[in-house]
Structure 1
Amino acid sequence: MSTVLPREEYEQAVATARSAASLYYGTGAAADAVVEESADVTVLDDATYDALVRDIAATEAAHPDWQVQASPTQVVGGEAGDVEHSAPMLSLDNVFSSAELAEWHTSLAKRLDRAPRYVVEPKFDGLALAARYQNGELVQLITRGDGVHGEDVTFAAPAIVGLPATLTQPLTLEVRGEVMLTDAQFAAANELRLANDDKPFVNPRNGVAGSLRGSKDRSYVIPMTFFAYQLLPLPETYPGTRPDADLDYSAGIALLGELGVSTAATSSARIAVAETIEAAQEYIDSLLSRRADLGLGIDGAVIKADSPADREQAGSSSRAPRWGIAFKFPADSRLTTLEEVIWQVGRTGVITPRARVTPVFVGGTTVTYATLHNPNDLARQGLMIGDTVMVLRAGEVIPRIEGAVVSARTGNETPIPAPEVCPNCSGEIDRSQERWRCKRGRTCALPQAVRYATARDCWDIESVGEKLVRQLVDNGLVTDVADIFAITEEQLLGLERMGRTSAAKVLTEVEKAKSQPLARTLTALGVRGTGRSMSRRIARYFATMEAIQAADAAAFEEVDGIGPEKAPVIVEELVELAPVIEKLRAAGVSMTEPGATGRPVRTDDADQADDAGEDTTSEPGEASARPLAGEDGKPMTVVVTGKMTGPLEAFSRNEMSELIERAGGKASSAVSKNTSLLVAADEGSSKYKKAQSLGVPIESPEEFAQRLESLL
């Protein structure tokens, strides 16, 4: 939806868009200043910039005589460099809906007198570059600039993955594409920057501008990745063998892959050749559903005519080709204002900061609160109250603060006050670790810890609600979670509004909770670094609490999802919880996991069996039925969505996860290309549609129950 602006607002909008574009393309004095500040970010986020440009375009359509030369509808966003491009390096116009895409297709088909064949590929969220090769050797690397002239950044080539110094064939050509930071490279880049006393980048797209421009003088190297999207023969001034100038676009991309250049076809996103606009739309929908799982940033899809004859006939405007269009996805990151930092105390005593921001619509929902890093990271990032911050919400991930736009500061920002004492109990804070913790530990937030332990997904003691927990703690009857199993009828009857019937119900449920599987007890203990899923994995791997307590960090690293950083924390936590565990054991709480046989163990004849090519390793749960173990022996990844029906109607989400893992599978919350099966009752859910687009098998709750009949 666009708006026709009054003239004064139109002129201001053009100035704002041009300023933002200068930062976006990493050029100009403003960008240099931002690079010096180690932020290199746009003044506007993508969604706001796109909306501003649409308003500018609508205003110019209504008042063509108002149009100014610097309008973003007329020029490419960056400033000119010293190197002239071999052909104008244009940007693409945008559409934002299926209806707009269909309208563009109709216009192009009319211009060509036929419907073209399309190539559809991801729109990478980085910076455009042109790479010139002579006789197979990389000789020059140029930024987009203003589309006619760009800046020579050949010095940055060694840091760019996917752009080889030498091609596999001695061809003379130009490769155009996008340089970016993948998710892994972005994380590594910020670790490097922090280690070198530099401020972290706000997000991958803006970070690549700082990485590219700063690589000439920086003492450390930040790896980046290049994905090519076009092949051009260079003019005769560059001697050498040239590729066929009349290659279809898809054939040119295939040739680049053969030459050793990374392309969208070789990326996790892939490309598609579409004979119809409907087929192109199917790819776009599939790409959007896979967006969060690609491991790199994309902000849309690009649709291009495959035939060079079609592209030539369609032609170009002054700033954009008519044979291609960008389909922009809904923004998964937006700029907003950091209004407050709230310090919270978790049930283990860990103190964490949480951001309250000016409400902003991002990733399909209005975000008011977002996750922040630990206190030490806050200090390193230099965040301040009043900062313009980037909020990211990709896929179904909890919104988080990516960083501050340092260049947008007005001088009115204020430092974030760190707590002097525990926000919950006013006790001392242990600041010796990355995550601060109240020195009282679990005692500080005992009511939360006990309420969590008695919840349905842990010991499932329904009658021990929040009010009763508060009474038990306040009266000194419960000093840790194990004390729940030592409560007597006499103690309960001494509490306010507690009769014999209610007391009997509590004691019955407490007694029943003693037989819960080890995974539930491990979850109830609230070991830092674990949750429900991790507790189930640990319980099935070790089978008994005795084995878990005896395990060292190296043993824990053998459990799926536990790395060298998390393992020592778990060991330390178990040592701290040893007295509580002993009280649970004395109370008769189960310390074993049903169906689990423990860590893989070899028999005494293992060496002889190895020589014979036999596998004598016994896996956890091998003795039980494993209908979700795949043909290759690996667990099937199962996603459950919606309310269960039929035999599974009473199962909670956690109980479904437990069932899946007992059956030899792996429970997951998000549908991706790695999903083996979706269990869904609602055919209209987003996960159902995503599974359909990816070709993931789908079963109803009744069908899934039949598959796992032996375990129900």
Structure 2
Amino acid sequence: MGAMTNSAVVLAGTAAYAAAVEEASQAAAAYYATGESTLDDDAYDRLVRGIAAYEQEHPQEVLEASPTGKVAGGAASGDVPHTVPMLSLDNVFSAEQFATWTASLERRIGRPVAAWSVEPKLDGLAVAARYRAGRLEQLITRGDGTAGEDVSHAIGTVVGLPEQLVEPVTIEMRGEILMTTEQFEQANTVRTEHGGAPFANPRNGAAGTLRAKDRAYTVEMTFFAYGALPLPDSGELTDTLAELPHSEVLEYVAGLGVHTAADTDVAPRTVTTVEGVQARVEEVAALRASLPFGIDGIVIKADLAADQREAGSGTRAPRWAIAYKLPAVEKVTRLLGVEWNVGRTGIIAPRAVLEPVEIDGSTVSYATLHNPADITRRDLRLGDRVMVYKAGDIIPRIEAPVAHLRTGDEQPIVFPEACPQCGSEIDTSEQRWRCVRGRDCRLVASISYAAGRDQLDIEGLGATRVVQLVDAGLVADFADLFTLGREQLLGLERMGETSTDNLLAAIETARTQPLSRVFCALGVRGTGRSMSRRIARYFADMDRIRAADAEELQRVDGIGKEKAAGVVAELVELAPLIEKLVAAGVNMTEPGATPPPEPGEQGAEEAAAADGEGTAGLPLDGMTVVVTGAMTGVLEKLSRNQMNELIERAGGKSSSSVSKRTTLLVAGEKAGSKRTKAEDLGVRIAAPDEFAELIAGFLPSEV
């Protein structure tokens, strides 16, 4: 067809242009009908930009089927007229393009734009929800912008779109229906249980579900309002909505009980400068990977009604709003193979080998596959075209095969019959398969993990040294580290007196680490650093942890029924290792923690409420603390894990995200979006030195 540039497909001539128009039309038709396009969003955008560039140079050759200048690429339609056209948005892809667009808008209205509303561009389907006297009567898709499809049968399955408003007003809500990550996973589970092919991605899931009428099952979706307008019989509300700034319209909508993005990390924000818009765009882009729903950009709108009126609208898009598109995080590529890797606890994890594809600025050749059951549930096959998702630093994952692109040449994925690491039998009794040798299968990895900085922190014990110790028969688990003798170590290659003494000193220090780190070193599946701290602080010593049943473990924040049962089972399996650690004199208590009451005394839950789980009187008692940015002063050398330990020893609860429940943000250098959000929420902010003074009595002696 033509060469690719970073921004568009370059079309070489009339034939290439005609072929591009046909491909784009077919892709748009599939996309707006069921969400199942042969092109991912990025490829479609580049193709349409290439078509537009060709048409600008050859206006006499423009084909009627061209997607340019049309809502939904001209592919969608419907038979329910919209009261006001439901337009698409034009796109920009850089700060420079956005600056050019704003300058053009301000020239059009003859003055600077007074305020901008900056909000997430949600990756779903645009719909209009019509309420009469406060009751939801009709749900309509965007269609071709002038008329849409009636999907009122979906009423009652969409979270955030109440069937009755708080006030009996007649109004039309406009917004996006999508599937959150959790809803998407649940939808695919239900769909495959009923014999259906899994949805390729959340947008595909929402599109197919919204239009489905006769399924034997229902799945949930979520609505986010991005605007509202009066219906012909709205009365006084007509004049009110016409004069309200866009930001106040959203507040009014939320007050009626309709869901908006206001309670998310990417809540709409009003700013007064182009620089402020760009700063918010960067904040939202940085948060994208952590959101529980998909966004593919940021929508920027002139906030004042007067600015919007004077700017007006074109046939396809309003002139007062623009979509600032973010780099694609989702692409279609081919599944070439599956590798089976064994983790440090013996878990056998599949990894997808992909035909390399560029996503979000990096080349992706591998993606995670959760477990064999997941492969079976998704009906993945070698040779499949698959939808791959990647955002920020998140490991790429396969969302689903694009089933309608199958050729019949795809082959089943072969599961291993023996452990790929050691050849032993595989325990297939749970969804995640495991070598029957467990941690012994990957002994070096298990010991190296236990000795790591955030666990026992044994300096000088890298993987190479661990291999030496294992090969020499000196250690069979990490408890054996505490019984190593000086002469044994001196007998190893490249171990002189200085390195031996340093290693023994580091091991001796590790013997005194708090219980939370010792528990973390055990590598109990389903627990990590923060969960290990919570368990250690709740029970205070190892004997109480080991004596706890699943019901008691569920009293620890963040442990549910399934995880509690898993922890109990693993502690039984780890009993010999724990006994060896106790015999070696390793610390089994958590400094400053108060054990829960014994059975027969005050109930555990009441006791926790009465004394704050042993934190009463401590400087951070009852506080939820978030740390962000680079620490300075006495805190400079502490890792983030050490900071979280410090918070919890001082009676607080550490958290990674700022919310209404956050009590204190410790903001170091380059604090970024978390500081901005804390300021918006009125959360107390402390500099590192101020925080260090607050918890001075709990600082490690080395600082």
Q: Is the structural similarity TM-score above 0.5?
A: yes
Q: CA deviation at 1:326?
A: 1.5
Aligned AA for 1:188? Q
Q: Determine whether 1:20 maps to 2:27.
A: yes
Show the counterpart of 2:672: 688
Show the counterpart of 1:406: 403
SS at structure 1 position matched to 2:85: coil
Task: Assess, with a 3 A threshold, how the Cα gap between structure 1 residues 669 and 391 changes in structure 2: closer, same or farther.
Answer: farther
Aligned with residue 9 of structure 1, among 6, 16, 20? 16
Q: Determine whether 1:46 maps to 2:41.
A: yes
Task: Assess, with a 3 A threshold, how the Cα gap between structure 1 residues 100 and 503 changes in structure 2: closer, same or farther.
Answer: closer
Aligned with residue 190 of structure 1, among 183, 188, 191? 188
Task: Assess, with a 3 A threshold, how the Cα gap between structure 1 residues 66 and 706 changes in structure 2: closer, same or farther.
Answer: farther
Show the counterpart of 1:205: 203
Task: Assess, with a 3 A threshold, how the Cα gap between structure 1 residues 520 and 309 changes in structure 2: closer, same or farther.
Answer: closer
Q: Say if 2:356 and 2:363, in contact at 8 Å, map to a contact too.
A: yes
Unaligned runs of 5+ in 2: 1-5
Q: CA deviation at 1:219?
A: 1.4
Per-residue deviation, residues 425-464 of structure 1 (Å, max 9, x unmatched): 0111111111100011111111211222223332233344
Task: Assess, with a 3 A threshold, how the Cα gap between structure 1 residues 348 and 602 changes in structure 2: closer, same or farther.
Answer: closer
Show the counterpart of 1:37: none
Aligned with residue 323 of structure 1, among 315, 320, 323? 320
| Partner Cα separation in structure 1 for residue 451 and residue 164 of structure 2 | 63
Q: Say if 2:76 and 2:143, in contact at 8 Å, map to a contact too.
A: yes
Per-residue deviation, residues 311-341 of structure 1 (Å, max 9, x unmatched): 4443332221222212223333333333332
| Partner Cα separation in structure 2 for residue 304 and residue 618 of structure 1 | 46
Instruction: State which drifts further: 398-407 or 553-562.
Output: 398-407
Q: Say if 1:544 and 1:593, in contact at 8 Å, map to a contact too.
A: yes
| Partner Cα separation in structure 2 for residue 41 and residue 513 of structure 1 | 55
Aligned AA for 1:635? T
Pairwise mapping of residues 664-675 of structure 1 onto structure 2 (< 5 A)? 664-669=651-656
Show the counterpart of 2:644: 657
Q: Say if 1:431 and 1:437, in contact at 8 Å, map to a contact too.
A: yes
| Partner Cα separation in structure 1 for residue 93 and residue 237 of structure 2 | 35
Q: Determine whether 1:426 maps to 2:433.
A: no
| Partner Cα separation in structure 2 for residue 354 and residue 605 of structure 1 | 49
Show the counterpart of 1:248: 244
Per-residue deviation, residues 381-411 of structure 1 (Å, max 9, x unmatched): 1122333333333454333222222223334
| Partner Cα separation in structure 1 for residue 445 and residue 647 of structure 2 | 28
Q: Determine whether 1:526 maps to 2:533.
A: no
Aligned AA for 2:11? L
Task: Assess, with a 3 A threshold, how the Cα gap between structure 1 residues 451 and 379 changes in structure 2: closer, same or farther.
Answer: same
Per-residue deviation, residues 252-310 of structure 1 (Å, max 9, x unmatched): 44444454433445766443444544444454444434444553332222233345554
| Partner Cα separation in structure 2 for residue 137 and residue 583 of structure 1 | 67
Task: Assess, with a 3 A threshold, how the Cα gap between structure 1 residues 41 and 666 changes in structure 2: closer, same or farther.
Answer: farther
Aligned AA for 1:691? R
| Partner Cα separation in structure 2 for residue 675 and residue 593 of structure 1 | 25
Q: CA deviation at 1:217?
A: 0.8
SS at structure 2 position matched to 1:19: helix
Q: Say if 1:293 and 1:672, in contact at 8 Å, map to a contact too.
A: no
Q: Say if 2:126 and 2:174, in contact at 8 Å, map to a contact too.
A: yes
Pairwise mapping of residues 52-63 of structure 1 onto structure 2 (< 5 A)? 52-63=47-58
Per-residue deviation, residues 183-217 of structure 1 (Å, max 9, x unmatched): 33333323322443434333222210111122x11
Per-residue deviation, residues 331-374 of structure 1 (Å, max 9, x unmatched): 33333333332211111111111223344443454433332211
Show the counterpart of 1:584: 581
| Partner Cα separation in structure 1 for residue 101 and residue 163 of structure 2 | 39
| Partner Cα separation in structure 1 for residue 453 and residue 28 of structure 2 | 52
Q: TM-score, normalised by structure 2?
A: 0.87
| Partner Cα separation in structure 2 for residue 617 and residue 143 of structure 1 | 54
Show the counterpart of 2:624: 635
Q: CA deviation at 1:574?
A: 0.4
| Partner Cα separation in structure 1 for residue 657 and residue 278 of structure 2 | 23
| Partner Cα separation in structure 1 for residue 80 and residue 447 of structure 2 | 67
Q: CA deviation at 1:500?
A: 5.4
Aligned with residue 565 of structure 1, among 544, 562, 567? 562
| Partner Cα separation in structure 2 for residue 513 and residue 200 of structure 1 | 48
Task: Assess, with a 3 A threshold, how the Cα gap between structure 1 residues 668 and 392 changes in structure 2: closer, same or farther.
Answer: farther
SS at structure 2 position matched to 1:637: strand
Q: Percent identity?
A: 52
Instruction: State which drifts further: 119-128 or 89-98.
Output: 119-128
| Partner Cα separation in structure 2 for residue 706 and residue 201 of structure 1 | 53
Aligned AA for 2:644? S
Task: Assess, with a 3 A threshold, how the Cα gap between structure 1 residues 622 and 200 changes in structure 2: closer, same or farther.
Answer: farther
| Partner Cα separation in structure 2 for residue 46 and residue 157 of structure 1 | 28
Aligned with residue 471 of structure 2, among 474, 488, 505? 474
Show the counterpart of 1:397: 394
Q: CA deviation at 1:101?
A: 2.1
| Partner Cα separation in structure 2 for residue 648 and residue 265 of structure 1 | 35
Show the counterpart of 1:176: 174
Show the counterpart of 2:3: none
| Partner Cα separation in structure 2 for residue 247 and residue 266 of structure 1 | 25
Pairwise mapping of residues 125-144 of structure 1 onto structure 2 (< 5 A)? 125-144=123-142
Q: CA deviation at 1:657?
A: 3.1
Task: Assess, with a 3 A threshold, how the Cα gap between structure 1 residues 500 and 408 changes in structure 2: closer, same or farther.
Answer: same
| Partner Cα separation in structure 2 for residue 580 and residue 169 of structure 1 | 63
| Partner Cα separation in structure 2 for residue 539 and residue 298 of structure 1 | 38
Q: CA deviation at 1:627?
A: 3.5
| Partner Cα separation in structure 2 for residue 275 and residue 460 of structure 1 | 49
When the two structures are aligned, how many residues end up with a matched partner? 682
Q: Say if 1:93 and 1:326, in contact at 8 Å, map to a contact too.
A: yes
| Partner Cα separation in structure 1 for residue 501 and residue 593 of structure 2 | 33
SS at structure 1 position matched to 2:156: helix
Q: CA deviation at 1:102?
A: 2.3
SS at structure 2 position matched to 1:479: coil
Q: TM-score, normalised by structure 1?
A: 0.86
SS at structure 2 position matched to 1:335: strand
Aligned with residue 145 of structure 2, among 128, 144, 147? 147
SS at structure 1 position matched to 2:228: strand
Q: CA deviation at 1:498?
A: 4.5
| Partner Cα separation in structure 1 for residue 431 and residue 95 of structure 2 | 47
| Partner Cα separation in structure 1 for residue 608 and residue 215 of structure 2 | 55
Q: Say if 1:648 and 1:701, in contact at 8 Å, map to a contact too.
A: yes
SS at structure 2 position matched to 1:585: helix
Aligned AA for 2:643? M
| Partner Cα separation in structure 1 for residue 695 and residue 214 of structure 2 | 61
| Partner Cα separation in structure 2 for residue 485 and residue 605 of structure 1 | 39
Aligned AA for 1:637? V
| Partner Cα separation in structure 2 for residue 652 and residue 266 of structure 1 | 31
SS at structure 1 position matched to 2:100: helix
| Partner Cα separation in structure 2 for residue 501 and residue 265 of structure 1 | 60
| Partner Cα separation in structure 2 for residue 170 and residue 503 of structure 1 | 79
Q: Say if 1:230 and 1:249, in contact at 8 Å, map to a contact too.
A: no
Unaligned runs of 5+ in 1: 32-39
| Partner Cα separation in structure 1 for residue 136 and residue 495 of structure 2 | 81
Q: Say if 1:672 and 1:691, in contact at 8 Å, map to a contact too.
A: no
Aligned AA for 1:634? M
Aligned with residue 709 of structure 1, among 676, 684, 696? 696
| Partner Cα separation in structure 1 for residue 257 and residue 184 of structure 2 | 23
Aligned with residue 647 of structure 1, among 634, 657, 660? 634
